[in-house]
Each structure stands twice: as structure tokens, then as C-alpha cells.
Structure 1
Amino acid sequence: MQVKRGIAVSPGVVTGEVVVLGTEEFRIPQRFVSIDAVETELGRFRSTLDTVWEEIKENERLAREQLGDQFGAIFGAHLQMARDPKLIAEIEGLISEKSLSPEYASSRVLRRFARDLQNLGNQYHAERAVDIFDLEKRILRHLLGERREELLHLRAPVIVLAHNLTPSETANLDREFVMGFATEVGGHTSHTAILAGALEIPAVVGLGHFLSDVSGGEMVIIDGNHGEVILEPDDETLAKYRDLEIRVHSVTERLASLKTLPAETIDGESITLLGNIEFPEEAEVCRERGSKGIGLYRTEFLYLERNQIPSEEDHYEAYRKVIAAAPDHPVTIRTLDVGADKVPETIGELAPDVVNPQLGLRSIRLSLHNIPLFKTQLRAILRAAVDGDVRVMFPLVSNLMELRQARMILGDVMDDLEEQQVPFRRDVQVGIMVEVPAAVMLAEEFAREVDFFSIG
């Protein structure tokens, strides 16, 4: 049993078998075989080896013919590794003596070899470890055949382990089968961490190097409350955490039963509860918890998760998804709000002359500095507003000139859409974030020109 400690970013406790993303892209369905099936499984493993050898030899031949002998030699080294008597004997020993399935035995032995190479501490041996992971993939692919379960088409619950997950990869995890995940890198404020919490998937990030210590199909515990990942837990630990899982589930069900109760104080004052989201997928979670709309939709993820500036359609589809999850309720969309702490490369290219964006070109100022960028977002908001009660909010407004310029550009966008005969909503409410002392001092003047404030 090993305990790895990282950063807890999404609460909850789960136990289950793992998929190691990046080196394995499918689930090992079983770790053990019955004793009377051992000889059959040994035969299946040896047959798979024959197939893998032939496949590598064909790759070697093609590489020599098309690229030259030096490239064919790469696959020659792979073939030599695949035929290593010590490696084969160790895998067959695990199958015959411990009744491990060929898939699990192969993964376990190959990953230990890879880990040993990585621990030698130089670039050459680290690259050879990659070759071993490649051999592992080949063997598992042929062993599993039609039984192979790709990550996007799982049929049984798993825990995902990865070096890293992008926000889009996290959003696309199948919540029916992905019980939790853990990554080698990441932190509290990463967008992947935020999304994991919103999707209610227990998660731990920032664990450091550990993927070579675990094979697909092994039992793992993720403790998203304390930031721990336990590899191959013993029976006592497993029983303890499974009991904790049951108790946590009971509390969750009890809290879920409260969502239909009115939100009001003891003296009968009604309170409107609105969601605070960053990703479209979070809107549905808010609705399930009884929110009466979205009070703040931060749109920066559209810029932060990609290497190019999002198009009008990218914006539009994201906003439509949020509006659909909050029918008949308000959705307040805040325009781009990035500064020194989270300037993406795509936006950085538009402001190369800024020495200190924390003090200068940020939030509404950045949008006003890049009017085509600003208009793209406003067009999408106005188009999406046809389907719901959408409000627009400008961030970090500090004077009336900034507000008036933003409203003027909003009016220009409306005129453009009207001229192009593109459906849009003209009567959207407009508000500002009150975040700086100047906005507080000018609150009375701002109140005459906006529909609402949001205190930031």
C-alpha cells in the first residue's frame, strides 16, 4: 500500500479500479483468473506475443524501406525488448503462480521495468521507458481485442489517473462511470480543479510523479477531502474507506432533500439563490441544487482553455448551453475579465506593449482596447439572449467614460445585427461590477445609467 499526497480540489471519497490516461486508453476488465483457466490464459498471452512480434517486424521492414536503416533499427530495438526472456518469464510467472490475468500481469511487469529506467536519472533511459509504455499498449490492445473499452465508451465504473487533464477533457468525463480522478500536476485555482468541483467528481491534483507506480485495473482510493490517493490499499483500509463512502452518500442524499425548500430567513425574508459559474457544465449542477438562475457567469474559460481566440459561434454555443440549463431564470454574463494573474497567450498577443497589466490594461479596459474582440463577445451574448432572460455585466469599471464607451459599443453591435437581420434581443439589462473604490464613490452616478450592480 502506498499513500500519495497532493492537493484536494473536489471533495468526496471513492474506491475503484483505475484507468491510467496517457499510457493506457482503455480499462483492464479483470485482474485475476480462475486456477483452471491459467493454462488457457498462458496460451492467450503467448499467442499475443507472436502477433506483437510480427507487428513490430512489419513496422521495422516498412521503416527500413521508406526511411532508412537507422529508423528501422528503432523497431529492431523494440522487437528485442518484446522478446526479452526475463521479461516474458516474469509475466508468465505471475499468470501461472498468482493467477493474474495476462493483461494485468503484463501491465504490472512492464510498468515496473519502466519505473526502474526512469529512476536511473538520465534522458536516455527515460526515453527507453517510453518505449516500454508503447510495448505495454501493443500487448494490451491485442490481449483485449473486442473487449477493449475506450475511455469514452466505458461500461464499468473507473477512477482516472493522468499526468494532467485539460478543462475540456474534464468536462467530457462520463459522470456515470468516472468516479474520480487524480493528476500529477495542477493546483487549487486551475480550471480543471474548478470544473471537477462543479461536476462533483472527487479529485486530487499536484501529486507529483506517480503514474509508473500503478497499473490499470489496480484498486485505488481517492480521498478528495484530505488530498490523498492510496494505491493498492490493504483490506482494513479499503473497508474503512468504503464505510466512509456510504456515510458521505447518506449525508449527500439528506442535503439533496432540502433543495426544494424555500430559501428564506427565520423571520420569513425571501432570498434569491443564484449560481456562480465558470463553465457551461456548471449551470446544470446549479439547477439541480435549486438555484433560481445564474448570478455570475465568468466567461474567461473560453479564452484560457485554447490556443486561439474563440469565435462568435464558440461564445454563442457556450451561452446557449447555460441559458438552456436555466429556463425562465436570469443569466448574468460578465464580459472578459482577465488581468496579470491569468492573461492567456491569445490575449497577451493583443496587448504586447503592456508592462504591468495588473495596474493597466485589464478587464473592461482590455475589451475597450480591442474592440473587434469585444464586439465578437457582445454579438454572441445578444444573439443568445433571444432564448432567455440574459443580462450583460462589465467588470472593473472605474469611471463613467468606461461605462459609456462600453454601452456605445453595445449599441453599435445591436445596430449591426439589426442591419444584418440577425435575431437578437435589444432590451437586455446592463450592469457593472463594483470592485474598486472609484466605483463606490461614483455609485450614485452609475446608478442612473445601469440596471444593476454586482458587488465584487
Structure 2
Amino acid sequence: MQIKRGIPVSPGVAIFTAFVMDAEDQPVPRRPVAMAKTGEEVDRLEKAVAASIVEIEGLTEQTASSLGEDLSKIFSFHIGMLNDPQLIGQIKTMVRTQRVSAEYSVYTVLRKLASTFAAHDSQLVRKTVTDVKDLERRILKHLIGSSREDLKNLKGSAIVVAHDLTPSQTAMLDKRKIKALVTDAGGRTSHTAILAHALGIPSIVGLEDVTSEVSTGDTIVVDGNRGIVVIDPDAAKLMEYRQEARQMAKHATMLRELKDKPAVTKDGTEITLYGNIEFPDEIHLALSNDAAGIGLYRTEFLYLASDVIPSEESQYESYVTAIQNLEGRPLTIRTLDLGADKVVEDLTPMSLWQERNPFLGCRSIRLCLQNLPLFKTQIRAILRASVEGPVKIMFPLISNIMELRQAKMILSDVKEDLEDQGIPYRDDIPVGMMIEVPSAALQALTFAHEVDFFSIGTNDLIQYTVAVDRSNERIANLYSAAHPAVITLIKEVIRASQRAKIDVSLCGEMASDPEFTMLLLGLGLRTFSITPPAIPEIKQIIRSVSIEQCRRVARKVSGFDSNREVLNYLKGEAGKIMPEVVGGRSIGY
């Protein structure tokens, strides 16, 4: 048995045999052609390119239908390359001047382009290597066919293991057969990861060498919750995961019975449960899990899923779609949180996204305040959409009062511009901010007099408080929501919001973990904004406890001085209510 750790991009547990996609690309041999035949080769190339465009257009429509318009835009880059006269001209020129076959020219030119992109300083450019390989495979398929190991050869259910999947391959995955996905390469914001998450199958990327360790037919376990792949599990590990899978299935059935029941504690305190989304198309999942609205719309994914910077009009259409899908429920739109691990190259100079420590650099609200046309375009789109329904606007990563005031001033400027142009907008749109850095948490009362609401972003708050990069496996054990300092900051933010009589929610991963629910309720939190699939689980905890019971938990936790004590105690308390779930889950992050 072997255990490998990677980057989890979609949760869930799957136990099936592996289907290993070819990790090595087959070379195309150089085949000379007679001068008189080069014209025929160019004709073959043009037909193959035309057929590829038709295929991609069909794939775009299919993706739009199944996963939404925003995700389908991923393939605009592919069509753009196939319509690029310079690129296709380069291939044709090679056919004519070197008198070689069309397939060899495609292979050579696109391999060279992929190598150039792979060596580029830009993370975004390097990320498009899989797109170029995708195009190469597609064109070659029309020129010479394909004998490669293909998903079409798959007979039954399996877990796909690949060095990396192209966006096309990921979008074409059949959920009836493909039960999970693991890859050597990839990151959280790659096109493949975004599509895998949207498909809703357990997925782990960044495993480095999983394809060399697994063979087709091997039994493997994919734990998308923890980012763990177990290769050839022994009987004990297999039994452990199968038991956990049965418990989760049984528990999921029980949770479905909570549908349409209110999130109210045993002593009658109403709790609001919102959902977190990346795209408007995810709203139906949130509503199907009884979300009262959307507490966090991460708008940066509109940029990350597209190869062009979204225009004001395209953003406006996305926001209006989200508002209409919510049918009168509230929508909180967070302004762009780009930078650090989420990079869109066209928005920043090379010097900025090559920063030595991007998490402490020009990201999020800082990037927006240094790029006012970008910031104003988004605010205009939000304000225009606000007339369609209840919308709130939220600024991320505010660390000092001047940043907040500058952002609010820009909001006022955009309102004036819209007023001058006679464009309707909601003047009284609620304005809030994320609390995700210690300086903001410590000054929460000051900020509370300047905004309508807070949203505590624990993902960043934890890493900034304990000085741990949450993506660094070597120190991952130090990244914990249970750290007493983190809990103290959360308590102070909630207390400040209560004193100022403004709303406060918590939208980080901590809110989605049932072991922390009682603690957060005991600290005074009454609004959770969480990943949609976690809503029924959190609702069950809420309906099973009283506020006084939760306050006792919070008082007990305040006396602990280590995250280990906190974790063990919270796990024990939650286990009394939900032993079938808590017993099989890790509460570290």
C-alpha cells in the first residue's frame, strides 16, 4: 500500500479501479512528400483545422448546457488559436518549404509552441500548455486518427489517472463512468481543476508522479476531502474507507430529510445559512441545499475561467443571471480577489505577479486600487445589476481604514458617473468588507462604523495570524482554525459587530466544518456562508443544539492554550451529535 498527497480540488471519496491515460505523448515520424503533393497536404491540414473548429464549437455548446456559459468560455482560447492565421500559416509554410506531411508539421510547430509556453515566466502562460496539447491531439486525430489509450475505451466505472487532462478531456468526462480524477500536474486555479470541481467528482491534482505509481486495473482510493490517494490499499484501509463511504451515503440520505426545514436551534434561535459560489450556474446547487441566499460570490473566477478580461457587459450579464436565479434571495458580490495564487497576467505588470511573496504583496483590494479602470468597470457592472434584486457589495482583504475609505470613494464616483449618464442603479446598496487580516480584526470596531456588514474570511485570516502558507505541505499541520489566537480574533470581530449593530457572517472553510459549528454559535455567530453541499450537515448540527449549550462550549474552549486541545474537545462535542460523520473526518485544514 502506498499513500500520496496532492492538492484537493473537489471533495468526496471514491474507491474504484484505475484507468491510466497515456502519460507519454507518441511522436509523429517525419514523412517527406513530393513537391507536387504539398498542395494536397495543405488541403488536408485545412480540412482537419475546420473539423477541429466544428468539434470545439460543439464542445462549447455542450459545456454551456451542462456546466454553464462561464465555463464554456474556456474553449474560446482553442478556437482563437485555430483561427490564428500566423499559427496556421506557420504550419502550412513548413509543409511547403520542408516538403513534409501535414501531421508532422502540426506536431513540430505545436510542440515547439508548447515548449515555449512551458518555459515562460508567466504562470498564466505556462497554464495554457495543456490547451496547446489539446489542440495538437485534436488536429492529429483528424489527420491520422488516434490509437492512444482513450476514455472511449472505458467499459465500466473507474478513476481516471493522468499526467494532466486537457480542458476538452475534462469537460467530456462521463460522470456515469468516471468516479474520480487524479493528476500529476495542475493547481487549484487551472482550467482542469475548475471543470473537475464543477463536475462534482472527487478530484486531486499536483500529485507529481502518480501516473508512474499506478497501472490500469489497480484499486485506488481517492479522498478528495483530504487530498489523499491510496494505491493498492490493504484490507484494513479498504474496510476503513468503505465504511466511511457507507456512513456518508447513509448520512446523506438522512440529511435529505431536512429539506425545507428551518435552521433553528432547539431553543428557537434562527440561524441564516448562505452558500458560497464561483459561477451563477452553481446557485441551483445552493438552493437545492436550502441556502437562504448567496453570502459570497467569488467574482475573480469570471476572470480565471476566461482567456480574455471580462467586459463590463459580460460581468453585468453574469450578475443579473445570478440575481434572477436567486428569485429575490440576497446576493453578496465580492469584488475581485486576484493576485497571490490567482493570477490573470493581463491585469498586472510582470514585476507584480513575479513577487517573491505574493500573499503579502499586491493582491485583492490593493491590486484593484492600483488598477482603477478594472475596479470601476466591475463596480459599474454590480451597480447596474443591483436594480434587479437584493445585492450587497463586499471589499476583500481590507487591512487599514484608508483602503476602505478609498474603495468607498471610488464606489461613490461610479455612482455619480451612472447618475450623469442616466443609468439606473440602487443608491442604497449595502457595503461590507471581508475581515481576513489580523489588523482588520483588531480594528473591527473602527471598521464597523464605516460599513453595513462584515464577512470573516477564515482561510486567509488563519494563514496571516499563524504565519503559515496553507498550500505548503511541510507546515500544513500548523495551519489550523482551532488556534486560540484565531478564535480570539473571531470572537472580537463578532463582539464588535454586535456593539455596532451590523450584520456579521463567516464565509471561510471553517464555517463548513461541523466540528466548529457549536463553537461559532457560542461565540455569537448567527450567519454562516458555506459551500453548498455542506449546508444540510451544518443545519443538522444547528437543529440539534441549544444556544446555551454552545455558549458552554465556547467558554470551555476559551480556557485552552493549544489547537490540539481545542480540536480534541470540539471533535468530542460534535461527535456526540454526529458520530457517523465526525468519526471519519479530519478536522485539520
Matched with 1:432 is 433
Q: How does 1:343-382 map to 2 (within 5 A)?
A: 343-349=343-349, 352=352, 358-359=359-360, 361-382=362-383
Quickly say closer, same or farther: Cα 1:203–1:143, change in 2 above 3 A. Answer: closer
Determine the C-alpha separation between the residues in 2 that align with 1:385 and 1:416: 16
Amino acid in structure 2 at the alignment position of 1:289: N
Structure 2 length normalisation: TM-score? 0.49
Post-superposition CA distance 1:390-433 (Å, at most 9, x none)? 11011222444332322222223233334445454333211112
Q: How does 1:59-78 map to 2 (within 5 A)?
A: 61=33, 65=38, 66-67=95-96, 71-72=100-101
Report if aligned partners of 1:191, 1:301 keep a CA contact under 8 Å in 2: no
Quickly say closer, same or farther: Cα 1:312–1:250, change in 2 above 3 A. Answer: same
Amino acid in structure 1 at the alignment position of 2:394: M
Matched with 2:331 is 331
Q: How does 1:158-307 map to 2 (within 5 A)?
A: 159-165=159-165, 175=175, 178-186=178-186, 196=196, 199-209=199-209, 221-224=220-223, 227-228=228-229, 248-307=248-307
- Return the offset for 1:273: 0.8
Q: How does 1:52-91 map to 2 (within 5 A)?
A: 61=33, 65=38, 66-67=95-96, 71-72=100-101
Determine the C-alpha separation between the residues in 2 that align with 1:73 and 1:188: 36
Matched with 2:322 is 322
Post-superposition CA distance 1:12-60 (Å, at most 9, x none)? 2153785848999xxxxxxxxxxxxxxxxxxxxxxxxxxxxxxx99x85
Amino acid in structure 1 at the alignment position of 2:365: I
Determine the C-alpha separation between the residues in 1 that align with 2:102 and 2:143: 20
Determine the C-alpha separation between the residues in 1 that align with 2:370 and 2:139: 52
Q: How does 1:435-450 map to 2 (within 5 A)?
A: 435-440=436-441, 442-450=443-451
Determine the C-alpha separation between the residues in 2 that align with 1:266 and 1:352: 51
- Return the offset for 1:442: 4.7
Quickly say closer, same or farther: Cα 1:134–1:352, change in 2 above 3 A. Answer: closer
Quickly say closer, same or farther: Cα 1:183–1:68, change in 2 above 3 A. Answer: same
SS in 2 for 1:274: strand
- Return the offset for 1:203: 1.7
- Return the offset for 1:187: 5.2
Matched with 1:383 is 384
Report if aligned partners of 1:398, 1:439 keep a CA contact under 8 Å in 2: yes
Report if aligned partners of 2:103, 2:140 keep a CA contact under 8 Å in 1: no
Quickly say closer, same or farther: Cα 1:270–1:343, change in 2 above 3 A. Answer: same
Report if aligned partners of 1:60, 1:73 keep a CA contact under 8 Å in 2: no
Report if aligned partners of 1:307, 1:345 keep a CA contact under 8 Å in 2: no
Matched with 2:505 is none
Quickly say closer, same or farther: Cα 1:141–1:191, change in 2 above 3 A. Answer: closer
Matched with 2:4 is 5
Amino acid in structure 1 at the alignment position of 2:322: V
Quickly say closer, same or farther: Cα 1:416–1:171, change in 2 above 3 A. Answer: farther
Q: How many residues align?
A: 363
Determine the C-alpha separation between the residues in 1 that align with 2:360 and 2:2: 43
Determine the C-alpha separation between the residues in 2 that align with 1:449 and 1:366: 21
Quickly say closer, same or farther: Cα 1:241–1:292, change in 2 above 3 A. Answer: same
Quickly say closer, same or farther: Cα 1:163–1:401, change in 2 above 3 A. Answer: same
Report if aligned partners of 1:14, 1:222 keep a CA contact under 8 Å in 2: yes
Which structure features the higher share of helix residues? 2
2:407 aligned with 1:410: no
Amino acid in structure 2 at the alignment position of 1:386: V
Determine the C-alpha separation between the residues in 2 that align with 1:446 and 1:19: 53
Quickly say closer, same or farther: Cα 1:238–1:254, change in 2 above 3 A. Answer: same
Amino acid in structure 1 at the alignment position of 2:287: R
Structure 2: runs of 5 or more not aligned:
39-94, 108-136, 458-589
Determine the C-alpha separation between the residues in 2 that align with 1:168 and 1:140: 19
CA RMSD of aligned residues (A): 5.1
- Return the offset for 1:448: 3.5
SS in 1 for 2:250: helix
Structure 1 length normalisation: TM-score? 0.61
Amino acid in structure 1 at the alignment position of 2:205: V
Amino acid in structure 2 at the alignment position of 1:434: I
Relative contact order higher in (CA < 8 Å, ≥ 6 apart): 1
- Return the offset for 1:242: 7.9
Post-superposition CA distance 1:246-296 (Å, at most 9, x none)? 664333222333343321223221110112333444433322222211112
Determine the C-alpha separation between the residues in 1 that align with 2:431 and 2:381: 15
Determine the C-alpha separation between the residues in 2 that align with 1:349 and 1:175: 40
Report if aligned partners of 1:222, 1:228 keep a CA contact under 8 Å in 2: yes
Post-superposition CA distance 1:90-140 (Å, at most 9, x none)? xxxxxxxxxxxxxxxxxxxxxxxxxxxxxxxxxxxxxxxxxxx99996899
Determine the C-alpha separation between the residues in 1 that align with 2:274 and 2:392: 13
Quickly say closer, same or farther: Cα 1:351–1:383, change in 2 above 3 A. Answer: farther
Determine the C-alpha separation between the residues in 2 that align with 1:423 and 1:156: 55
Quickly say closer, same or farther: Cα 1:311–1:156, change in 2 above 3 A. Answer: farther
2:367 aligned with 1:396: no
Post-superposition CA distance 1:343-370 (Å, at most 9, x none)? 4423332875988665553322221221
Determine the C-alpha separation between the residues in 2 that align with 1:172 and 1:288: 25
Report if aligned partners of 2:434, 2:455 keep a CA contact under 8 Å in 1: yes
Amino acid in structure 1 at the alignment position of 2:412: G
Report if aligned partners of 2:156, 2:177 keep a CA contact under 8 Å in 1: yes
- Return the offset for 1:325: 4.0
SS in 2 for 1:262: coil
- Return the offset for 1:201: 1.0
2:453 aligned with 1:452: yes
Report if aligned partners of 1:199, 1:281 keep a CA contact under 8 Å in 2: no
Report if aligned partners of 1:7, 1:205 keep a CA contact under 8 Å in 2: yes
Matched with 2:465 is none
Determine the C-alpha separation between the residues in 2 that align with 1:23 and 1:262: 53
Amino acid in structure 2 at the alignment position of 1:71: V
Quickly say closer, same or farther: Cα 1:21–1:373, change in 2 above 3 A. Answer: farther
Report if aligned partners of 2:181, 2:204 keep a CA contact under 8 Å in 1: yes
